């Protein structure tokens, strides 16, 4: 029977999805809720590589709406971790755009259709300077891999500079430049053309004065460039997230990117800003995090929130760089990059961000979140640092000033088990609560989260 789902197990959904078959989406009342979870986990182990498709959630999710996710037992969880579903889970306008386009046309990118041009124009209008040339991919990893290729071919140089704590994807080229537990495993060696510089962390790093740290950390990049030059090598690119997400929500200090970009460009290299996690208004004050630093990259990569859960990403650069890349004779083709459905969905996401003023919400609600967390910091010595921008916030947990990974893990588990909140831990020492929810959350959600955190810290 086709129904419109406006509630689930007594919970009103924020959005009313299109008509669906209730027997397909909503399971009947389970006789033994645990059995469903056990069966799902058993099936995963039987037909999937369990070590790769890991899940840190003990709940079986069957439905989601706005900032909430629902389990097979009808329990509602506040999602404070999912930066993919940027404008809210199952937003009706985004869903409708995808459904309509799938009913009309979907094909590979070798055919002429206006969806690519329309989206490219809209994305270009959100970019500063001459960043007006788009190449569409399916994931942030694909986008970053292509950005590296472009930098190497356009400059004719080979050396890549990246930041410890950065995460850029799972392709081989990106694991090499990522400094993350999942990137390089025991026995593997990082390629000789990859140079990692210090995480510009003003809380735990070498330089801690936020007013002077930026240029000091940037000096290390200049030294790497000089060393490469002395060895007869030339730098192709510097790639970094303006806010290093998996590194623990580390915000690049004032002057860091500006000084780094000057050094890299002086050496004939290109600067890549990885906005895959921080873009599309999440930081509040600007649409892109790099704009907070008064710089304009040569290449920008975007993804994750771009499709609100649908796989779509892009590389955005200048026409000059794109033409120089094409002139090298290198052919790039992506079967599904720029397909009509992805373009329609991404355009709908931009519509929702503008119409519902979600960038402004990220700034307002994110500012409130930071204020409440910093107030809590005064009362709880376990909170070593609160940092971030908009709705991209990190809370570093400590014990006697040192990273407390165990406490962070306890907080995440208790948040889920006792307070119905999903939260992630990350950072170089695994002790940072990484807060990056759908940007439709409200102050009531913030109050629930902060109150829960206080209760946990009071008894842990």
Residue with tokens 């026409």: 319
Same domain for 381 and 308? no
Same domain for 191 and 116? yes
Q: Residue 143 sits in a domain of what CATH number?
A: 3.40.640.10
Q: Degrees (nearest 5) of the Cα angle 138, 144, 147?
A: 110
228 token code pair? 């490469």
In a domain, 87, yes or no: no
Same domain for 430 and 450? yes
The stretches of 245-292 forming alpha helices (DSSP H) are 256-266
- Maximum distance among all Cα pairs of the chain, rounded to whole angstroms: 72
pLDDT at 460: 86
CA neighbours within 13 Å on the CB side: how many for 276? Answer: 30
Residue ranges making up the domain that contains 451: 358-460
Closest CA to 270 of 155, 186, 173, 193: 155
Whether residue 15 is predicted with pLDDT greater than 70 in this model: the reply is: no
Same domain for 184 and 35? no
CA neighbours within 13 Å on the CB side: how many for 352? Answer: 29
63 token code pair? 């439905």
In a domain, 8, yes or no: yes
Of 24, 49, 79, which residue sits at a domain end? 79
Whether residue 26 is predicted with pLDDT greater than 60 in this model: the reply is: no
User: What's the whole-number average pLDDT of the chain?
Assistant: 91
CB distance 15 to 90 below 8 Å = yes
Whether residue 23 is predicted with pLDDT greater than 60 in this model: the reply is: no
Residue with tokens 């930026």: 214
Residue with tokens 């959904």: 13
In a domain, 302, yes or no: yes
pLDDT at 306: 98
pLDDT at 331: 87
Average pLDDT of the segment spanning 19-27: 44
Calpha distance 207→28 (Å, rounded): 57
pLDDT at 21: 46
CB distance 217 to 164 below 8 Å = no
pLDDT at 39: 78
C-alpha to C-alpha distances, 375 to 103, 335, 369, 370, 378, nearest whole angstrom: 51, 50, 10, 9, 6
Calpha distance 133→177 (Å, rounded): 25
Of 355, 384, 409, which residue sits at a domain end? 355
Calpha distance 115→108 (Å, rounded): 12
Same domain for 379 and 351? no
Beta bridge partners of 159: 235
Same domain for 217 and 199? yes
Residue with tokens 């970053």: 144
pLDDT at 59: 81
Same domain for 11 and 122? no
Those residues with Cβ within 8 angstroms of residue 131's Cβ, 6 or more apart along the chain or in another chain: 124, 296, 297, 300, 316, 317, 318
With residue 425 as reference, give the H or E element that holds it.
Answer: strand 424-426
Burial grade of 47 (CB within 10 A; 0-12, 13-18, 19 or more): exposed
Calpha distance 376→79 (Å, rounded): 21
CB distance 257 to 394 below 8 Å = no
Confidence of residue 182 (pLDDT cuts 50, 70, 90): low
Whether residue 32 is predicted with pLDDT greater than 70 in this model: the reply is: no
Residue with tokens 């921080």: 278
Same domain for 63 and 97? no
pLDDT at 24: 45
Same domain for 330 and 368? no
Q: How many domains does the chain have?
A: 3
In a domain, 88, yes or no: no
Q: Which residue has the higher pLDDT, 139 or 73?
A: 139
In a domain, 202, yes or no: yes
Query: pLDDT per residue over 280-336, tens digit each?
Result: 999 999 999 999 999 999 999 999 999 999 999 999 999 999 999 999 999 898 999
pLDDT at 275: 99
In a domain, 86, yes or no: no
In a domain, 26, yes or no: yes
Query: pLDDT per residue over 76-116, tens digit each?
Result: 999 999 999 999 999 999 999 999 999 999 998 788 899 99
Average pLDDT of the segment spanning 428-436: 97
Same domain for 386 and 337? no
pLDDT at 53: 61
Confidence of residue 48 (pLDDT cuts 50, 70, 90): confident
Residue with tokens 């630093």: 293
Whether residue 198 is predicted with pLDDT greater than 80 in this model: the reply is: yes
In a domain, 84, yes or no: no
Q: Residue 408 sits in a domain of what CATH number?
A: 3.90.1150.10
Query: pLDDT per residue over 224-272, tens digit each?
Result: 999 999 999 999 999 999 999 999 999 999 999 999 999 999 999 999 9
Same domain for 176 and 266? yes
Average pLDDT of the segment spanning 376-401: 99
Residue 401, Cβ neighbours under 10 Å: how many? 9
Calpha distance 429→34 (Å, rounded): 33
CB distance 60 to 40 below 8 Å = yes
CB distance 99 to 274 below 8 Å = no
Of 79, 112, 137, which residue sits at a domain end? 79
pLDDT at 7: 60
Average pLDDT of the segment spanning 366-379: 99
Confidence of residue 17 (pLDDT cuts 50, 70, 90): very low
Query: pLDDT per residue over 152-161, tens digit each?
Result: 999 999 999 9
Whether residue 22 is predicted with pLDDT greater than 50 in this model: the reply is: no
Same domain for 225 and 197? yes
CB distance 138 to 311 below 8 Å = yes
Parallel/antiparallel/unpaired status of strands 299-302 and 250-251:
unpaired
pLDDT at 19: 46
């Amino acid at each position: 029977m086709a129904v419109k789902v406006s509630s689930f197990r007594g919970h009103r959904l924020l959005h009313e999805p299109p008509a669906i078959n209730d027997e397909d989406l909503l399971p009947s009342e389970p006789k033994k809720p645990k059995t469903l979870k056990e069966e799902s986990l058993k099936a995963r182990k039987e037909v999937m590589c369990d070590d790769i498709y890991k899940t840190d959630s003990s709940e079986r999710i069957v439905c989601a709406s706005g900032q909430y996710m629902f389990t097979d037992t009808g329990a509602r969880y506040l999602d404070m971790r999912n930066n993919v579903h940027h404008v809210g889970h199952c937003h009706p306008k985004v869903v409708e755009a995808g459904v309509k386009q799938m009913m009309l046309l979907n094909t590979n990118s070798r055919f002429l259709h206006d969806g690519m041009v329309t989206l490219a124009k809209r994305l270009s209008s959100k970019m500063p300077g001459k960043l007006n040339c788009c190449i569409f991919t399916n994931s942030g990893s694909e986008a970053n891999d292509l950005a590296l290729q472009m930098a190497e071919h356009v400059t004719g140089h080979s050396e890549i500079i990246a930041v410890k704590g950065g995460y850029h994807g799972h392709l081989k080229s990106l694991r090499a430049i990522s400094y993350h537990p999942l990137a390089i495993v025991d026995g593997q060696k990082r390629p000789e053309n990859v140079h990692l510089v210090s995480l510009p962390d003003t809380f735990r790093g070498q330089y801690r004065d936020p007013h002077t740290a930026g240029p000091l950390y940037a000096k290390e990049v200049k030294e790497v460039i000089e060393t490469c030059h002395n060895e007869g090598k030339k730098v192709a690119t510097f790639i970094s997230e303006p806010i290093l997400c998996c590194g623990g929500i580390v915000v690049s200090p004032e002057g860091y990117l500006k000084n780094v970009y000057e050094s890299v460009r002086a050496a004939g290299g290109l600067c890549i800003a990885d906005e895959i996690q921080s873009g599309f208004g999440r930081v509040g004050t600007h649409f892109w995090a790099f704009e907070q630093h008064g710089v304009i990259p040569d290449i920008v990569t975007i993804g994750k929130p771009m499709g609100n859960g649908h796989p779509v990403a892009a590389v955005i650069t200048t026409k000059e760089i794109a033409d120089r890349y094409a002139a090298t004779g290198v052919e790039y083709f992506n079967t599904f990059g720029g397909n009509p459905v992805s373009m329609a969905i991404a355009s709908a996401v931009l519509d929702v961000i503008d119409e519902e003023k979600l960038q402004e919400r990220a700034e307002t609600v994110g500012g409130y979140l930071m204020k409440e967390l910093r107030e809590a910091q005064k009362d709880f010595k376990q909170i070593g640092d609160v940092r971030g921008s908009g709705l991209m916030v990190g809370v570093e947990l400590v014990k006697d000033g040192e990273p407390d990974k165990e406490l962070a893990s306890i907080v995440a588990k208790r948040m889920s088990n006792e307070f119905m909140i999903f939260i992630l831990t990350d950072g170089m020492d695994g002790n940072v609560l990484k807060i990056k929810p759908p940007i439709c959350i409200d102050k009531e959600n913030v109050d629930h989260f902060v109150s829960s955190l206080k209760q946990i810290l009071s008894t842990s």
